[in-house]
Structure 1
Amino acid sequence: MDEGTPSRYRLDTGGSATLILPDGRTLSYAQYGLLTGPAIFYLHGLPGSRMEGALFDAPAITPRARIISIDRPGYGLSSPQPNRTILGHANDVDYLAKHLNLDSYAVLGISGGGPYALACAAALPADRLKAVSIICGLGPPDLGKKGMDWWHWIGFTIGFRYFPWACRWWFSRETFGRLDLTDQQRYDQFQQEWSRAKSTAHPKDVAALDDPDLIRWMVRNHREAYRQGFEAFALDGKLSTSDFGFRIQDIRPDLPIHLWYGKDDTSIPPIQGEEIAARLGPKARLRIEDETHGSLTWNCRVRALEDLLEAM
């Protein structure tokens, strides 16, 4: 886990920065890709951190995009905000855009970042926000869950909403949440677990998780996600399974929104994308790919960025 060892994914924090928001909170972000290219705000998963943007670093250079990846409150280096809302995070994105003097930009939300990408679509200025892309993104709690595995169904129906303490405890015992272990110990333990599980895993997941560089990045990303503990993660889950505070169908009709979902995704199944697209109407462009929850991002990153840049 030596960060000086060459890796296809950036493990360093050299692109990280912070700013102070009007309410005194710290907002942390990292920049990747081509810093003179069109700006795309990256909204991480559940859990996640600004380090997720590293997945788009090399691909971003090919489509010539500037990736600005943000830590939500309580993750990474961003201050906690116990009373935050999903819509409220759009205000943080707007303030950061003004801080960076951006006249136009797009938003890309992954998995648990989906609700926040929809909030940006609903709230950010029409003259600046040009397009939105959501990859395997979670939708409002009233959407269908057909095809979701038992663990995620429990979590997204009653777990996060009514038993956040149990979710905190469960994830603190998973390998990537074991903050009592070093990065090397977590890496080694995950490799042992994966060697036992891969025989029954989906072939697309095997192709991704057999990559040592990807595992190193996952360890690093989770270290940042849990840097301040598990409170932000539990609150994120509760917010994502409660009323979003806005209606998808009220998002402005002229905003291009690209939806990417995996046919074999059992974490956030394609029915979520189908129902989001139905509520968005003609503004939505839905793609159902032959991918799993994890492989969709690994295998469709470049295409998603190219489509987003074209829509801008």
Structure 2
Amino acid sequence: MLKRFTVVLLIGLLAWAYQATHPPPPSICGSPGGPPVTAPRIKLRDGRYLAYKEHGVSKEVAKYKIIFIHGFLSTRHDVVITANAPPEFIEGLGLYIVSFDRPGYGESDPDPKRSVKSLALDIEELADQLGFGSKFYVIGQSMGGQVVWGCLKYIPHRLAGATLLAPVVNYWWQGFPANLSTEAYNKQPQDQWTLRVTHYIPWLTYWWNTQQWFPASSVISGKPYILSRRDLEILSKFAGRENPHKAQVKQQGVFESIHRDLMIGFGSWEFSPMDLENPFTNNEGSVHLWHGDEDDLVPVTLCQSLCNAILLKNFHGFNTMSYLVLDTYFQLL
């Protein structure tokens, strides 16, 4: 009897472990029972669909053609440039901006093979199908800023310029001074285990961020506890405002959107941004990085170290590095 009970218990534990660590299949937009398709989409090389949204002037009259890459827990609708700048400012500069749902977010199909490189190739294909021409600009915010490093690595020949807005840093990128990386990592006490799980045992990412025993990602829970005083003051100004598109962020499932974002963003990269070569050897373009100097959620010290390393390599295209407090940043945009 005891042996039989032990076998049944073991089978039950194995079944529970399998279910807990294997996310349910995504609810793909346009599929039976899935969310509806409301956005224009392109069909990519592997059959996936990528949803996008156009902003600003038409591309026929545009002076600058830009692809905007949204951040974590966001969609194509969340574009800081258009959200904080009056339409006449956008039109006066002649900006044609296309934002898109990264795979698994919003109405873009999930990509189980998503990687730093595949995201850059998705962007290149989006530009080609929408007729951007041989060169275009990319702007990435937060986790989307991290994607820009992939563009500089894999499609530098297509870029007229690039901008990173408070880009997320991977603590395991090669080239950081060990003491600096450790110091910044230790400032994330609640998220340390989330980051460790994501980096070292990514197949547990879904379980870790859905279980109730240990604290999971503070950003996913909506309680980023290490925001600075000035960041909190800014957020208070948006209190009570409901994002009408919030439900779209995870409508296809949490795993293929935000969890896979974590796995890629904090996983093992094939390169470090500090190893990038200058894509603008003839000064035909530039790379700009903007970061709040009181940002502790995305440690500004590591961004400073990264940029200094790039500049030491005579990366002349990287000719602008700006630090400013976040409220000034919003005013400028």
Residue 163 of structure 2 aligns to a residue whose secondary structure is strand
Q: Which residue of 1 aligns with 2:140?
A: 109
Contact 1:21 1:27 in 2 (8 A): yes
Q: Which residue of 1 aligns with 2:150?
A: 119
Distance 1:247 1:131 in 2: 19
**Superposition map of 1:64-103 within 5 A:** 64=93, 65-103=95-133
Distance 2:239 2:55 in 1: 21
Distance 2:86 2:68 in 1: 12
Once structures 1 and 2 are overlaid, which stretch shifts more, 50-59 or 237-246? Answer: 50-59
Contact 2:198 2:266 in 1 (8 A): no
Once structures 1 and 2 are overlaid, which stretch shifts more, 140-149 or 61-70? Answer: 140-149
Larger radius of gyration: 2
Q: 1:156 aligns with which of 195, 201, 207?
A: 195
Give the direction of change, closer, same or farther, for the CA distance of 1:14–1:80 in structure 2 (3 Å limit). closer
**Superposition map of 1:263-274 within 5 A:** 263-274=293-304
Once structures 1 and 2 are overlaid, which stretch shifts more, 147-156 or 251-260? Answer: 147-156
| TM-superposition CA deviations, 1:228-267 (whole Å, max 9, x none) | 1101211110111122223322233425111111121111
Q: Which residue of 2 aligns with 1:234?
A: 259
Once structures 1 and 2 are overlaid, which stretch shifts more, 263-272 or 155-164? Answer: 155-164
Give the direction of change, closer, same or farther, for the CA distance of 1:166–1:150 in structure 2 (3 Å limit). farther
Q: Which runs of 5+ in 1 are unaligned?
A: 1-12, 179-189, 303-312
Give the direction of change, closer, same or farther, for the CA distance of 1:176–1:287 in structure 2 (3 Å limit). closer
Contact 1:44 1:109 in 2 (8 A): yes
Letter in 2 for 1:20: K
Letter in 1 for 2:190: W
Q: Which residue of 2 aligns with 1:8?
A: none
Q: 2:232 aligns with which of 205, 209, 213?
A: 205
With normalisation by structure 2, the TM-score equals 0.68
- Report the Cα offset of residue 168 of structure 1: 3.4
Q: Which residue of 2 aligns with 1:4?
A: none
**Superposition map of 1:218-257 within 5 A:** 220-232=244-256, 233-248=258-273, 249-254=275-280, 255-257=285-287
- Report the Cα offset of residue 175 of structure 1: 12
With normalisation by structure 1, the TM-score equals 0.73
- Report the Cα offset of residue 58 of structure 1: 5.4
Give the direction of change, closer, same or farther, for the CA distance of 1:125–1:176 in structure 2 (3 Å limit). closer
**Superposition map of 1:34-73 within 5 A:** 34-36=57-59, 37=62, 38-53=64-79, 56-57=82-83, 59=85, 61=87, 62-63=89-90, 64=93, 65-73=95-103
Distance 1:60 1:39 in 2: 18
Once structures 1 and 2 are overlaid, which stretch shifts more, 71-80 or 253-262? Answer: 253-262
Once structures 1 and 2 are overlaid, which stretch shifts more, 85-94 or 14-23? Answer: 14-23
| TM-superposition CA deviations, 1:106-140 (whole Å, max 9, x none) | 111111112211101112252x3111111110133
Give the direction of change, closer, same or farther, for the CA distance of 1:160–1:250 in structure 2 (3 Å limit). closer
Q: Which residue of 1 aligns with 2:168?
A: 138
How many correspondences in the alignment? 264
Contact 1:168 1:230 in 2 (8 A): no
| TM-superposition CA deviations, 1:91-112 (whole Å, max 9, x none) | 1111111111112311111111
Contact 1:18 1:26 in 2 (8 A): yes
Residue 209 of structure 1 aligns to a residue whose secondary structure is helix
Contact 2:72 2:142 in 1 (8 A): yes
Give the direction of change, closer, same or farther, for the CA distance of 1:289–1:87 in structure 2 (3 Å limit). same
Residue 268 of structure 1 aligns to a residue whose secondary structure is coil
Residue 78 of structure 2 aligns to a residue whose secondary structure is helix
- Report the Cα offset of residue 54 of structure 1: 6.2
Q: 1:168 aligns with which of 209, 214, 217?
A: 209
Q: Which runs of 5+ in 2 are unaligned?
A: 1-35
Contact 1:105 1:129 in 2 (8 A): yes
Contact 2:191 2:217 in 1 (8 A): no
Q: Which residue of 2 aligns with 1:288?
A: 323
Contact 1:18 1:29 in 2 (8 A): yes
Letter in 1 for 2:254: F
Distance 1:263 1:252 in 2: 26
Contact 1:263 1:289 in 2 (8 A): yes
Higher helix share: 1
Provide the aligned C-alpha RMSD in A. Answer: 3.4
